[in-house]
Amino acid sequence: DEKAVVLLYTTLNHLKYCLSNGDTGTIKTLDAPIYLVKVAGDEVTYLNREGNLATMKIDTSEYQFKLALLDHRWNDVRRIVKNTRIHGQAWVAYLQQRGFPEVAMYFVRDPKI
């Protein structure tokens, strides 16, 4: 998708993302600093401080969810929420904060109904 712009970057302790709308988040806490070389899907290629090339798998579900939401790809939003480990309350809070209360209601379960 040409609209889906995600920048991955590192700090001393974290691998982070930034979306084209300004949303940011942390993907992974790092044991040691790394230098990104390539990102393809859920695999990151990097150099460590010793200059060795390595790869690691990352969980892209958080920023994939946000991108699907921005592009109004509701089936993808539903699939991502159903298949990830992020708790419902986090999804609901984000959806309400970003102006999608009708989508947030989809994830609220009332035991009285």
Antiparallel, parallel or unpaired: β 34-40 and 6-10: unpaired
pLDDT score at 105: 72
Residue 37: its H or E element: strand 34-40
SS3 assignment, position 71: coil
Question: Is-above-0.85 flag for pTM?
Answer: no
Give whole-number Cα distances, 84 to 59, 75, 87, in Å.
9, 14, 8
The per-residue pLDDT string of the chain (113 residues; one tens digit each, 9 = 90 and over) reads 455 689 999 999 999 999 988 999 999 999 999 999 999 999 999 999 999 999 999 999 889 989 998 888 989 988 887 787 766 677 778 888 888 887 777 666 545 54
**Among 96, 97, 51, residue whose Cα is nearest residue 105:** 96
Tell me the helix, strand and coil percentages in the chain, rounded to 5: 35, 30, 35
Distance between CA atoms of residues 47 and 26, nearest Å: 19
The count of residues in the chain is 113
**Among 106, 110, 100, residue whose Cα is nearest residue 82:** 106
